Structure 1
Amino acid sequence: MFGHSGSSRSRVALAGALGVGLVFSLAACGDNKNDSSGSGDTASAGIDCSVFTQFGDIKGKTISVYTGIVTPEDAPQKKSYEPFEKCTGATVKYEGDKSFETQILVRAKAGNPPDVAYVPQPGLLQQLVATGKAVEAPKEVADNTDKWFGKDWKAYGTVDGKFYAAPLGANVKSLVWYSPKQFKDKGYTVPTTLDELKTLSDKIAADGSKPWCAGIGSGDATGWPVTDWIEDFYLRLYGADAYDKWVKHETPFNNADDTAVWNAVGDYLKNDKYVNGGLGDVKSVASTTFQDAGLQILEGNCSLHRQASFYAANFPKGTEISETGDIYAFYLPGKDATTKPVLGGGEFVLAFADRPEVKAFQYFLSTDTWANLKAKASSGWVSANKGLKVENLTNPIDQLSAKILQDPNAQFRFDGSDQMPAAVGSNAFWKQATAWITGQDTTTTVNNIEAAWPK
């Protein structure tokens, strides 16, 4: 169901499909309604049509967009393009495909790429650039990216020193779900450091409860939630530079730091005092689906569940997700209260044509204007765009995610397994992580993953 790549987009789609009632019932409330009356609507939508004159007259032109963002997530995406179409007279032809990550490479290599593709992985972006068919982003887009996004994000859209792709959407994985009502009743406080997280876990255990619930079951992709834990802790214990070297395999998978990270995660996921609230012993982590695990918080069987922002879609319809509600999330803290490593994912806007209308559309998507239009048109979506106004996001978790991404101390890093070769990132890493949960020792686990790296 995840496909061979294990991309963040696939995970979002899967989680979203399971929680459509919760997430998309909100989307209709925030849509900007546009009719055929033209300028009045675009003005009310906050669009300054004059910015597109720099690209000349593009009326009647068509821009083809190809993406893995499919129904129902595609509806607010298309809605957000309407002001651009009304301003310019151009048409955006949207094509969503669940097989996008395979087919975009096929199309590019065959010389039949779309004008624009939304690429969900830096590794795939590099492969597409290597086909020779992609074009560098225009200066107007590069300038917008410098203005509205951090250097970390621009670097992921850069290949061999050349800037190709501005960021589009984003998701935050460095979250811990909890019940604000339970915390208030029990007198628990949200931790701001890793040490405080450990102290809180010990306190909950001492109170006679299992603090954590976890599940890594996901069909053929079973194990991927462990990789997110490992990546989050690698960032926190050793920093972004060491993480980058590890992801690129400039340091081996069985180095001492890597082993220490697995042991640190094991202090949580392989600790009988900590897991698995309402579900069983440590081994039940492997047999529980990632969708089901966090629901134990609502039952009062556990207090904490580490999972990404898109997990909001898995709670039953009617669950109040807010700072004072049934469920909310807090940032998985760093070693101290000032460092803010953020693990996540997102998409990038890559063009295969440099016609004026394509440049104009790329420009539009890289603005704060588009980010705010998209925010109003959907729920379950966020961007790292610094110009995104948090109040335009209709969902409390989206608002939390935006605040984390916009924090000036945030150091964003893309999901590591999504950047590794498929033999590792979506194969050995997942399988060995599952074996580790069910009893395999850490040394054997990291040695087996290291051995899987392509020579």
Structure 2
Amino acid sequence: MSLRATRTRTAVASAGVLGLTLALAACGGGSDSDDTSANAPKTDCSQFSQYGDLKGKTVTVFTGIVTPEDKAYTDSYKPFEECTGVTIKYEGDKSFETQVLVRAKAGNAPDIAIVPQPGLLAQLVATGNAKEAPAEVAANVDKFWGKDWKAYGTVDGKFYAAPSGASIKSLVWYSPKEFKDNGYQVPKTLDELYALSDKIAASGKKPWCAGISSGEATGWPVTDWMEDMMLRLNGPETYDKWVKHEIPFNSPESAAALDEAGKILKNDKYVNGGLGDVKSIATTTFQDAGLPILDGTCSLHRQASFYAANWPKNTKVAEDGDVFAFYLPGKDTSSKPLLGGGEFNLAFADRPEVKAFQTYLSTDTWANIKVSVSQGWVSANKGLDASKLTSPVDKLAAQLLQDQNAVFRFDGSDMMPGAVGSNAFWKQSTSWITGQSTKQTVDNIEAAWPK
């Protein structure tokens, strides 16, 4: 689920220690980021001298990230503003994805847009008004991100946008206490995951709980399941072809991926723990779907890292807590496919102050400042100091993102045409849960693909 999927609900290198110094300056050394008292730490501006004299300049930023998440972004910009003299004008809009296209086509684009999907990025580049990223930004991305991330910011062989934040979807939530009490081990392969599920089912308990109800977006959790299985069974290259429709949606590979998800989601012995039978998945909201773990009527729930914020107040989310998550394993221990989402910083102007700010956002300095003033935000930036993360789930996500063996792929439905990714894919997935065959489901989605 991306920012769109709030769907009813995103060559300057500096030492980590400097990032912390700047972060403290940005947030006044405490929770009040607007502290301007004489005791507030001063920002070390030496790292910004290369940008030259930019006093009096303004850079506009347009995004779908709104209150309350916007404050951490504006706080993370303060060291740049203080040290360069540039004013960053931040505008958040829930209708961003529609409005940014309108503005770009009309020649009224912002200086920087924080873009949540590669598909939208390509559409914005196609307007002819986006600017290629400066060489300094490209150098930072080469240093701090993997090739897969750089590819998502590249259109027609030209590099436009550095990655920003990232989220992980390939997670399974569980009860650490239940695992300890029963001697269950965190599975390292899909076969071990199924074996664990069988073991829990043999005890008389349905191991999995799930829910896909989400208003007009009902069905989207199934798309994540299928995408995760597409990656695991067929690999990233085939996944990319599937997303781009270079192979049809009803290909054998696609059908096999949905059937693999069905080994759990359509298995009466496995679901729906604490909630009902297989069909109850369609009427259970995604917000409620994992909660049976807390009362012991369910053991496993596949959902993204954002679900950490969904547990009731006072729930301890940690490796030794009430709930935690583990990586949804691949076919073997040598492969580590990761499904997720993220944002990219795309520029529509190439003035010196815009280039300077775009470069700042591509550094490890900014990533460490941002994480120091945020909760629930991580980045795939390899210069991110994970010790700054306070949430155990964020630490897990950062560890997975920075794993050299990880192969990251963006949420497929977010990159497919709207008629498919946010319409037919959701609706047909819901029909599949309630009894429609895999063949009929993938055939119907293929028929919805724009000609």
TM over 0.5: yes
Q: Which residue of 2 aligns with 1:87?
A: 83
- The alpha carbon displacement at 1:36 in A equals 4.1
> Cα RMSD between the aligned structures?
1.9
| 1: CA distance, partners of 2:101 / 2:119 | 12
Which segment is superposed worse, 318-327 or 52-61?
52-61
* 1:435 match: secondary structure: helix
Corresponding position of 1:304 = 300
Supply the distance in 1 between the matched residues of 2:324 and 2:342 (Cα, whole angstroms): 22
Does the alignment pair 1:291 with 2:290? Answer: no
2:41 alignment counterpart:
41
Once the two structures are overlaid, the 10-residue window that deviates more, 205-214 or 257-266, is 257-266
Which among 2, 9, 17 is matched to residue 3 of structure 2?
Answer: 9
Equivalent residues of 2:211, 2:282 under 8 A apart: yes
Segment drifting more, 138-147 vs 27-36: 27-36
Aligned to 1:331: 327
What does 1:232-251 align with in structure 2 at a 5 Å threshold?
Answer: 232-251=228-247
Deviation at 1:15, TM superposition (A): 5.4
Kindly report which structure 2 residues correspond to 1:151-230, keeping only aligned pairs within 5 A, or say none: 151-230=147-226
Q: Cα gap change, 1:416/1:13 in structure 2, threshold over 3 Å: closer, same or farther?
A: closer
1:295-354 alpha-carbon deviations (Å, 9 max, x no partner): 111111100000000011110111100001001000000111121100000000000001
1:379-390 equivalence runs, <5 A: 379-390=375-386
Amino acid at match of 2:41: D
Secondary structure of 1:345's counterpart equals: strand
Counterparts of 1:15-34 in structure 2, within 5 Å, are 31=31, 33=33
In the alignment, is the contact (CA less than 8 A) between 1:28 and 1:377 conserved in 2? Answer: no
Bigger drift between 400-409 and 183-192 goes to: 183-192
Measured after TM superposition, the shift of residue 51 of structure 1 is: 3.5
How far, CA to CA, are the matches of 1:147 and 1:39 in structure 2?
36
The aligned residue for residue 392 of structure 1 is 388
Letter in 2 for 1:9: L
Q: What amino acid is the match of 1:400?
A: L
Classify 1:367/1:196 alpha carbon distance in 2 versus 1 (closer, same or farther; 3 Å).
Answer: same
CA distance in 2, matches of 1:295, 1:374: 31
Return the alpha-carbon distance in structure 1 between the equivalents of residues 46 and 356 of structure 2: 12
- Structure 1 contact 39–87 (Cα < 8 Å) conserved: no
Structure 2: distance between partners of 1:30 and 1:308: 30
SS of aligned partner of 1:219: coil
**1:96 corresponding residue in structure 2:** 92
**Structure 1 residues 32 and 334, CA gap change in structure 2 (3 angstroms):** farther
* CA distance in structure 2 between the partners assigned to 1:433 and 1:65 by the alignment: 36
What residue number does 1:253 align with? 249
Aligned to 1:23: none
Deviation readout 1:248-271 (Å, 9 max, x if unpaired): 010111111111111111110000
Q: What is the aligned partner in structure 2 of residue 447 from structure 1?
A: 443
Please tell me whether residue 346 in structure 1 is matched to residue 342 in structure 2.
yes
- SS class of match (2:41): helix
With structure 1 as the length reference, what TM-score do the two structures score?
0.93
Residue 52 (structure 1) shift: 2.9
**In 2, Cα distance between the equivalents of 1:210 and 1:29?**
48
**Seq. identity, %:** 70
Matched residue SS, 2:216: helix
Residues 152 and 294 from structure 1, CA distance in 2 versus in 1: closer, same or farther, beyond 3 angstroms?
Answer: same
Output the TM-score relative to the length of structure 2: 0.93
Q: Distance in 1 between matches of 2:4 and 2:123?
A: 19
Distance of aligned partners of 1:42 and 1:240 in 2 relative to their CA distance in 1, 3 Å threshold:
farther
How far the C-alpha of 1:38 sits from its partner, in A, is 9.6
* Residues 173-230 of structure 1 deviation map (CA, whole Å, 9 limit, x = unaligned): 0000011111111111100100000000000000111100000000000000000000
Instruction: Measure, in 1, the Cα distance between the counterparts of 2:159 and 2:121.
Output: 11
Q: Distance in 2 between matches of 1:214 and 1:181?
A: 21
Partner SS for 1:168: strand
- CA contact 1:209–1:277 (8 Å) conserved in 2: yes
- The match for 2:260 is 264
Q: Give 1:371-382 correspondences, 5 Å limit.
A: 371-382=367-378
Q: Using the alignment, how far apart are the partners of 2:398 and 2:112 within structure 1?
A: 25
1:204–1:211: 8 Å Cα contact kept in structure 2?
Answer: yes
Runs of at least 5 residues in structure 1 that lack an aligned partner in the other structure = 1-6, 17-26
Partners of 2:297 and 2:29 lie apart in 1 by 34
C-alpha spacing 1:388/1:12, structure 2 compared with 1 (3 Å): farther
* Equivalent residue number for residue 138 of structure 2: 142
State the one-letter code of the partner of 2:2.
S
Please tell me whether the aligned partners of residues 32 and 377 of structure 1 are also in contact (alpha carbons under 8 angstroms).
Answer: no
C-alpha displacement at 1:11, in angstroms? 3.7
* Structure 2 stretches lacking a partner, 5+ long: 11-26
Distance in 1 between the 2:4 and 2:305 partners? 14
1:250-294 CA distances to partner (integer Å, 9 max, x unpaired)?
011111111111111111000000000111100000000100000
Q: 1:39 to 1:361 in 2, by over 3 A?
A: farther
Per-residue CA distance 1:82-126 (angstroms, 9 max, x = gap): 111111111111100000000000011111111000000000000
CA distance, structure 2, for counterparts of residue 13 and residue 379 of structure 1: 21
Give the number of aligned pairs: 435
Aligned partners of 1:271 and 1:363: how far apart in 2? Answer: 50
Whether contact under 8 Å (2:372, 2:388) holds in the other structure is yes
SS of aligned partner of 1:423: helix
Aligned to 2:430: 434
Instruction: Report deviation, 1:32.
Output: 7.6
What letter is aligned with 2:290?
A: G
Contact kept in structure 2, 1:12 and 1:310, CA below 8 Å: no
